[in-house]
Structure 1
Amino acid sequence: MKKQLLVMTVAAAACACTSSVFAQAGDTLSRIKASGTITMGVRESTAMSYSLGDGKYTGFHYDVCANIIKDLQKQLNLPKLETRYQPVTSQNRIPLVQNGTVDLECGATTNNASRQREVSFAVTTYVEEVRMAVKANSGINSIRDLKGKTVVTTTGTTSVQLLRKNERANGIEFRELQGKDHADSFLLLESGRADAYVIDASTLAAFIAKAKAPKDFKIVGEVLSVEPIAIMLRKDDPAFKKAVDDSLRAQFKSGEVARLYDKWFMKPIPPANVVVNLPPSDATKDAWAHPNDKPTEDYMKK
């Protein structure tokens, strides 16, 4: 009997502990205040967030998120708020947000209806166009020119599906490769193993700028999709989402986000001091002027 009671007591304690974990996961602000830490999801190689090595990260979304964290520290009246960094990939970013490992995913994630069923998104910080990069002397200028060619994209992204769904791709047969990450995908193009790399234009522009011979590449073809890029958060935590959105709205209004955009897309950036040279689109500027968390599908209706 005593053994049964012990088992029941341990089980009850485990349930209580599990309930507490789930309660904390749904109250991110309280957990951050209690622990004095926040975890930022960062990418190794995107135009929005990338590694400098030795556990250091930087980029447009990195800076935007750093400002959010400063605002959260003020809101929670914390003398210090430690930022921890968790590298994420296209494949694991959503699970790591869902399970509480990451509080702010500050990579380059598209807000769409499917993902909104699993996670939440802050208001849009950047509106992306999906296009393709090719060798400048390839003769490829449109989707029609991909017949019999090899197209690479990154595992966990939707770029090739978008390409196949485009009406101009009807009857066009091409081979498909997948890079393990964006750097690997660009290497496949750079080495000649792929004829075109399809992904966000900002990612393409960043890798071309960092290439050994940037003039050997060009971004071409039809716009395959217009996609809102936003910071990803756990679902069903309205207080945390409001705090993040309030910080972003303040950064939009003050011109801070526009300043950071100019810093990262129009001026030399580390470590090679290259210039991406990608001015903000009208859609991006409209997202700053009228903050919203609409998914891709709403943009496609326009």
Structure 2
Amino acid sequence: MKRLTQALALLMTMALPAVAASEPLTDTLAKIDETGIITIGYREGESPFSFEAADGSITGFSIDLCQRIVERIRVELGRDDIAVTYVVATPATRFILVKSGAIDLECAATTNNAERREMVDFSYPHFMTATHVMTRRADKIDSLQDLAGHSVASASGTVNIEQLNALNREQNLNIAVIPTKSTAEAFDMVVSKRAAAFVTDGILLAAKIAELPDPSLYALSSYTLSRSEPYGLMLKRGDTAFRTVVNDTLSSIYRSGEINDIYAKWFTTPIPPTGTNLNLPMSADMVEAFRNPTEYQD
């Protein structure tokens, strides 16, 4: 009897590592497995990262990356039937949607910084840019100081409007800062001459200007309001298992070289809906970020 008890105890001990290795799904992955749905946040008009095409499909550079993450999740869960639901996430609503779990992954152009990491988590960087200013060339606004006394639009909930407000206070520029609900609304204010300038990420401004009937009428500032900072895919804070799947997928895309084709599709070849070519080769910062993917810490 004693030998039988010892044998049973040995078998139980041997079984423990296997049980520990098979950890239960938690948080986002468990939710996706239970519902059969992954919910992705996107922008309606943030080309080339995230936008709604003329046929109603959701597309863009960030979306392409997230679609590959969805494929990886299907494999991880052993479920080919995992469906994707897209939800609009504006600059003003995106953090609430992620924190509340209304969206599982925000796939757009959201800057990763220390303040935001107090609320949410970010994936490895997938782009880098700085804050620039768009103006009408005819107005001959060549510096931040030239904006003194003018109206300047910027989307609520962005780091760009925070940077603009800070510089406005520090330099006593008397700029009338106009918060908008979206980048599209702020852009339209400059085109319609309701604002002298629009402040946001340089890459987003370049894409918007390139889509205009006559881009030569508008200028993108050579000066910046910030240093270059990374975009990251945004997810719920503290969900280590889900973040690991997201980052492992990106790391595989980056290290395999697949990122080169995805990048070229959106930044160095014509893109829908206008066939605009941004002609933007990968920067040295981006080459390094893709060569050695790591979590950004500023």
Give the TM-score range, shorter chain: 0.7 to 0.9
2-structure distance, mates of 1:168, 1:155: 17
Residue matched to 1:35: 35
Maintained 8 Å contact 2:133/2:200 = yes
What whole-Å deviation, never above 9, does each CA across 1:106-140 have from its counterpart, x for those lacking one? 01111111211111111111111111111122211
What whole-Å deviation, never above 9, does each CA across 1:239-272 have from its counterpart, x for those lacking one? 1110110000001011222321211122111111
Maintained 8 Å contact 1:144/1:168 = no
Higher-Rg structure is: 2
Q: Which amino acid aligns with 1:191?
A: S
Query: 263, 275, 278: which is aligned to 2:277?
Result: 275
Maintained 8 Å contact 1:39/1:102 = yes
Offset at residue 167 of structure 1 (A): 9.5
How many pairs are equivalent? 273
2-structure distance, mates of 1:72, 1:49: 21
Residue matched to 2:246: 244
Greater alpha carbon shift after TM alignment, 118-127 vs 252-261: 252-261
Q: Which SS does the other structure have where 2:161 is aligned? A: helix
Residue matched to 2:63: 62
2-structure distance, mates of 1:167, 1:222: 16
Greater alpha carbon shift after TM alignment, 265-274 vs 45-54: 45-54
Q: Which SS does the other structure have where 1:178 is aligned? A: strand
Offset at residue 158 of structure 1 (A): 2.5
2-structure distance, mates of 1:63, 1:101: 21
TM-score norm. by structure 2 comes to 0.86
Maintained 8 Å contact 1:134/1:218 = yes
Maintained 8 Å contact 1:129/1:227 = yes
Offset at residue 164 of structure 1 (A): 4.3
What whole-Å deviation, never above 9, does each CA across 1:164-193 have from its counterpart, x for those lacking one? 444997242222212221111110011111
Offset at residue 285 of structure 1 (A): 2.0
Maintained 8 Å contact 2:62/2:107 = yes
Residue matched to 1:51: 52
Maintained 8 Å contact 1:143/1:169 = no
Greater alpha carbon shift after TM alignment, 262-271 vs 169-178: 169-178
Maintained 8 Å contact 1:105/1:232 = yes
Moved >4 Å (runs of 4+): 166-169
2-structure distance, mates of 1:72, 1:254: 19
Q: Identity across aligned pairs (percent)?
A: 34
TM-score norm. by structure 1 comes to 0.85
Residue matched to 2:94: 93
Q: Which amino acid aligns with 1:237?
A: D
Maintained 8 Å contact 1:163/1:169 = no
Maintained 8 Å contact 2:54/2:273 = no
Matches within 5 A, 1:133-212: 133-166=134-167, 170-212=171-213
Matches within 5 A, 1:105-124: 105-124=106-125
- Root-mean-square deviation (Å): 2.1
Offset at residue 148 of structure 1 (A): 2.0
Maintained 8 Å contact 1:25/1:100 = no
Q: Which amino acid aligns with 1:42?
A: Y
